[in-house]
Chains A and B, each alone.
Chain A
Amino acid sequence: MNNVVILPILIPLLTGIILIFFNKYIKVQRWISFCSTLITVLVAGYLVQTVFTDGIQTLQLGSWKAPFGIVLVADMLAAILVLTASIIVFTCLIYSFRNIGKARESYYYYAAVQFLTVGVLGAFLTGDIFNLFVFFEVMLMSSYVLIVIGGTKIQLRESIKYILVNVISSALFVIAVAYLYAVTGTVNIADLSAKISEIGQPGITTVISILFLIVFGLKGAIFPLFFWLPGSYHAPPIPITALFGALLTKVGVYAIIRTFTIIFYHDTGFTHTLIGILAGFTILVGVIGAVAHWDVKKIIIYNILTAVGVILIGVATLTPTSLAGSIYYLVHDMMIKAALFLLVGAMVVITGTSNLRKMGGLITHHPYLGWMFFIAAISLAGIPPFSGFIGKLLIVQGGLQAEHYVLVGAILLSSLLVLYSVMRIFINGFWGEAKLKKEEEKGTTNGLLFPITLLVAISVTLGIGAEWFYPYIDQAAKGLADPTIYIQAVLKE
């Protein structure tokens, strides 16, 4: 019994409720949400440290024993992701103070962000597949609000597509859970894993696993199911896009990692090969889109796809090395995607356009912004001292051990094209003749730089201080490589 496990869910929930009462007092809302997200970050940090020293923490809600009640499980992977997600929410929140505008702020923006946090952190912490569905819905409902808040024409159009796709995928999720329940008679993840390894994953469970791959692939935007993402993520204002890009697709990826390492790992010849192929195509689509577009937001959005592909290749390989790489790359990518979206947002604030052809020479007046973008860009591509390198290195190493040469080649080639796509923003946006004089700029970057600096600094520390973080990542990867650790922690007598 450890009630700390529920705190990362409970604090944002209470904050969201309280913020509903104060929707007209913007200052009060800002202070409440600032303090509560800061507390969430601290609690998440404490949780990571507790899991590191004392092993997997579980909380049986309502004192009902594990397979019968809902259980919250904070293993290392979940704890790390909770910490990462809460840091991202914290920085995006500070960015929104300057960027989101009074009209949206007085219309329950902060409450929606808090409920989104509840959904994301809950999805990471739950140990029950139906509860995972519920937290997915909490997350998606808040994201519907956030994507449409403000009610501009493009937001209305894209939110309809977004909601349609997600309603369909949620219905498929319910159907998949129903099939799985009919076969195994349980919805607790640890119990599911035990039951499925008893019957040795026959054909029907492999079919169900593919259904889950389709569901989580729709949420996490993998190859044939990514079509909704570029439009939907382009519509809302930048802090919201940053939250979406850093958190939402990663929850889908986390769900794929969870289900395919703990529940469905007996028929890897079929399921994991399929994941590998899809991941390869996801990378391909991502780099093609990133190279093709001249819109700074779109370039970063397509880079989300590439990252999802790279992470899933680590899962498809399923060796301890590649799993560690996947986890490292997941954490790195959440941080750096949020940072890049916020950086691109600052560029849009200054120039008043997201078209790269209309920008230029920003570095003459904004050197600090420029060099931070440079660091974030090479970190994204995976240049050695920075954080993107270690994750990709481990995935490539694991891929070579398992002799997946094509996939490894795809990762390496994609790094080059990712570097090209973000460097194009740097060269066209920051270098060259300054197109705008200081007085002609559309907005200031006051207050926008602090959250960006925070994210870039954390990401640089992740790369340089890899030695400090590796024990945590290693513990998480060990937990994934050996499901019995998870099962014993949950179903212990």
Chain B
Amino acid sequence: MKTNDLILQTVTKITVFIIFAYSLTLFFAGHNSPGGGFVGGLITSAGIVLLLLAFDLKTITTILPFDFKKVAALGLLFAAGTGIGSFLFGVPFLTHSFGHFDLPIFGETELATAVLFDTGVYLVVVGVTMTIIQTIGEDDD
């Protein structure tokens, strides 16, 4: 039986961008309000899972041609890398620092190295979640 997913697919195409935008908001808001790398990563994966539900696995792997295991490893590299940076400055491991910068659009912004660590967490969460879901999904063939 051939099913018609027109409504599901159309709605998905619109909502997926809202979900991604929301996950990025949560990710960057983590320092001063609830949110951060973990929940941001989970919501990004939820968006990708919605795509997987509306379309099939093959389509999604052509749109997002990442090996998610390596995404997770890249995230770990980010997190460990922010720690190793401390060796260069002669301070204890994982000492974070921050500074105020005058950026073109945002004006004066506070940038902290903790965000780099959080990027690592974000990538690991997305990588691990998607690896689990894709591996189980691919399993029967």
Contacts and interface: CB of A to CB of B under 8 A. Distances in A.
Interface of A: 1, 3, 6, 10, 13-14, 17, 20-21, 59-63
Residues of A contacting B: mostly: helix
B119 to A, nearest CB: 15
A10 B80 contact: yes
A108 to B, nearest CB: 9
Contacts of B87: 3
B95 A17 contact: no
A97 B72 CA distance: 26
A60 B53 CA distance: 47
A3 B73 contact: no
Contact of B73 (A6, A17, A59, A61): A17
Contacts of A63: 91-92, 95
Given A6-B93, A59-B92, 4 more contacts: A13-B80, A14-B80, A61-B92, A62-B94
Nearest to A6: B93
A5 to B, nearest CB: 8
A1 B92 contact: yes
Nearest to A111: B73
23 contacts: A1-B92, A3-B87, A3-B93, A6-B93, A10-B80, A13-B76, A13-B80, A17-B77, A20-B70, A20-B72, A20-B73, A21-B70, A59-B92, A60-B92, A61-B92, A61-B93, A61-B94, A62-B92, A62-B93, A62-B94, A63-B91, A63-B92, A63-B95
A14 B86 CA distance: 15
Most buried by B among A17, A59, A61: A17
Contacts of B84: 10, 14
Contacts of B77: 17
Contacts of B93: 3, 6, 10, 59, 61-62
Interface in B67-82: 69-70, 72-73, 76-77, 80
B117 to A, nearest CB: 10
Contacts, number: 41
B84 to A, nearest CB: 7
A426 to B, nearest CB: 45
A21 B73 contact: yes
A1 B83 contact: no
Contacts of B91: 1, 63
Interface residues of B, number: 17
A121 to B, nearest CB: 14
B80 A17 contact: yes
B92 A3 contact: yes
A243 to B, nearest CB: 22
Residues of B contacting A: mostly: helix
A17 B87 CA distance: 19
Nearest to B69: A20
A62 B113 CA distance: 12
A142 to B, nearest CB: 14
Contacts of B94: 61-62
Interface string B99-127: 00000000000000000000000000000
Nearest 7 pairs between A and B by C-beta? A20-B73, A63-B95, A62-B94, A6-B93, A17-B76, A61-B94, A63-B92
Contact of B83 (A10, A20, A21): A10
Contacts of A62: 92-96
Nearest to A23: B69
Contacts of A13: 76, 80
Contacts of B92: 1, 3, 59-63
Contacts of B69: 20
Interface in B14-33: none
A14 B83 CA distance: 11
Contacts of A20: 69-70, 72-73, 76
A153 B72 CA distance: 29
A115 B6 CA distance: 46
A60 B86 CA distance: 12
A61 B93 CA distance: 5
Nearest to A17: B76
A63 B83 CA distance: 12
B47 to A, nearest CB: 24
Contacts of A59: 92-93
A405 B109 CA distance: 71
Contacts of A1: 91-92
A424 to B, nearest CB: 45
Nearest to A58: B92
Contacts of A3: 86-87, 92-93
Contacts of A10: 80, 83-84, 93
A61 B117 CA distance: 14
Contacts of B83: 6, 10
A6 B93 CA distance: 7
Nearest to B72: A20
A59 B94 CA distance: 11
A59 B72 CA distance: 28
Contacts of A14: 80, 84
